[in-house]
Structure 1
Amino acid sequence: MSIGDICAVASALFWSIAVILMRVSGLKVPPLPLTFFKIWVAVLLLMGTLLWERSPWVLDLTGQDYLRLVVSAVLGITLADTMIASALNRLGASLQALADCVYSPVIAFVGLVMFGEYLSAWEMMGGALVVSGVFVGATRTVEIKKPNDLWAGILLAAGAHIIMAIGVLMVRDLF
């Protein structure tokens, strides 16, 4: 097994653990304070990693590049993560995991809109199957007692993925 395979499996495992922890903490902590707590944990871990690796604290980027990084972080880490936490409170962990499947098709769509990048017919059919599967799975649930929570959660999750995609793609050429 290569290091890439190990990292891919570890990433999925840690994401699953994070979603479960967010769900449990979301029962007691509202989405915005939870997001700010996660941001501070991430900043502390990043600072520790930079110290450990003896990496530079300031990168050789222009002011405009730093502005793009800040806007990307505000969109992806603050706004989108708060929306994900709110969706998770409405949908639960299993439906949220299903809603997360739209991330790849959303990245492809935002790439088309922002950069004119086209997909092949097979790739578009795959994305359509993923999105339709999410909607079929979402409508066949008994976990959600109020239909408004289901659709609000789906819209929050989809909106979060669109915002995340914009945040990711706006800085993709910086590194």
Structure 2
Amino acid sequence: MVGEISALIAAGIWSASAIIYDKILVTVKISGTLVSFYRGLVSLPFFAVSLLIFDPHLPQLSSLHWFYLVISAILGITIGDTAYFLSLQDVGVRKALLLQTLTPLFGAFFAWVFLKESLTVYGLIGIALTLLGVVWVITERTTAGRSPHLLRGSLWGILSCAAQGLGAMFIRDVLENSDLNSLWSSSLRMVLGTVILAFWLGYKGNFTLSALSFPQWQAITGAAFGGSFVGLWLHQTAFQFAPVGIAATLLSTSPLFAVGISVYLREKVTWRSLGGVVIALVGIGLLLIR
């Protein structure tokens, strides 16, 4: 049960972190790109301390694996995470998290295209159900939540899932064919992705560290510690102690936690929204059946 509990706690932490980031985006009115950079910046010391304590020796990587690592960082962190924050800014927590359930779908698609991994009948049904659940919620007309730019936010969410799914292809090759472990890979990807994002913000003239107040920096730090650091450890623990399919499915339950938090905050949650989340999660479960 250790793996299953770890997966559920990670999903809950990611939902809470998303709500914190959402409140900052609404309050400060800054770009999701800048929030993505801030998240990466404040999470780096946590990774650095962990490496110094648990694994201070940098693994030896070939030039090709370094190239794959950089590509994975650009896709997963610079593009994928930033697109997620832009989606969060446009459509709010519940819909942004629900869109993230498409990531396993893109992972399966890219594995089918590039690695020639076959899709089972369950997988095809799972893809259909996941898409149905997401579309069912995204197209709901309701005053609950924030969706001023629904199409744009949905496209950002889809781009995020596609980039993360493709980036996972590259990092998986490195993890399977080198001495790089999950802690080092996560740390290096966060460093590379954040540095590249900083150069992009500098190029666009949006690089600044003064957009947030001290309490807001505290909130960002707490969300980064929980979502990017503790969530990572729980993510790895889930896959270590639970079957892959069960762990991946439970890790995808963040939208359910977001609905629960919304109920706690006395926000309106419709049956259609809840039903769409459940349908999408059932689809993910089928997609992971081998």
| TM-score, normalisation: structure 2 | 0.56
Call closer, same or farther: CA 1:47–1:145 in 2, change over 3 Å: closer
Could you say what secondary structure the match of 1:60 adopts?
coil
AA partner of residue 20 (structure 2): L
1:92 partnered with 2:84: no
Call closer, same or farther: CA 1:145–1:162 in 2, change over 3 Å: closer
Bigger Cα displacement from structure 2, 76-85 vs 98-107: 98-107
Distance 1:102 1:171 in 2: 19
Call closer, same or farther: CA 1:67–1:57 in 2, change over 3 Å: farther
Aligned length: 171
**Corresponding position of 2:173:** 173
**Corresponding position of 1:12:** 11
Distance 2:100 2:147 in 1: 21
| TM-score, normalisation: structure 1 | 0.91
User: Is contact 1:110–1:165 with CA below 8 Å preserved after alignment?
Assistant: yes
After TM superposition, where is structure 1 displaced by more than 6 Å over at least 4 residues in a row? none
1:26 partnered with 2:25: yes
**Corresponding position of 2:81:** 81
User: Is contact 1:101–1:131 with CA below 8 Å preserved after alignment?
Assistant: no
AA partner of residue 116 (structure 2): G
Bigger Cα displacement from structure 2, 96-105 vs 137-146: 137-146
Q: Aligned runs of 1:92-171 on 2, under 5 Å?
A: 92-143=92-143, 144=146, 146=148, 149-171=149-171
Distance 2:118 2:66 in 1: 28
Residue 159 (structure 1) shift? 1.0
Q: Which has the higher contact order (CA 8 A, sep 6+)?
A: 2
Residue 75 (structure 1) shift? 1.4
Call closer, same or farther: CA 1:140–1:56 in 2, change over 3 Å: same
Residue 41 (structure 1) shift? 2.2
**Corresponding position of 1:35:** 36
Distance 1:83 1:162 in 2: 10
**Corresponding position of 1:56:** 56
Residue 145 (structure 1) shift? 5.8
AA partner of residue 6 (structure 1): I
User: Is contact 2:91–2:147 with CA below 8 Å preserved after alignment?
Assistant: no
Distance 2:133 2:4 in 1: 26
Distance 1:47 1:145 in 2: 37
Bigger Cα displacement from structure 2, 68-77 vs 27-36: 27-36
Distance 1:145 1:22 in 2: 16
Residue 3 (structure 1) shift? 2.0
User: Is contact 1:79–1:160 with CA below 8 Å preserved after alignment?
Assistant: yes
Residue 57 (structure 1) shift? 3.9
Could you say what secondary structure the match of 1:69 adopts?
helix
**Corresponding position of 2:47:** 46
Gap regions ≥5 residues in structure 2: 176-290
Gap regions ≥5 residues in structure 1: none
Distance 1:60 1:51 in 2: 17
Distance 1:96 1:51 in 2: 35
Distance 1:59 1:171 in 2: 14
Residue 101 (structure 1) shift? 1.8
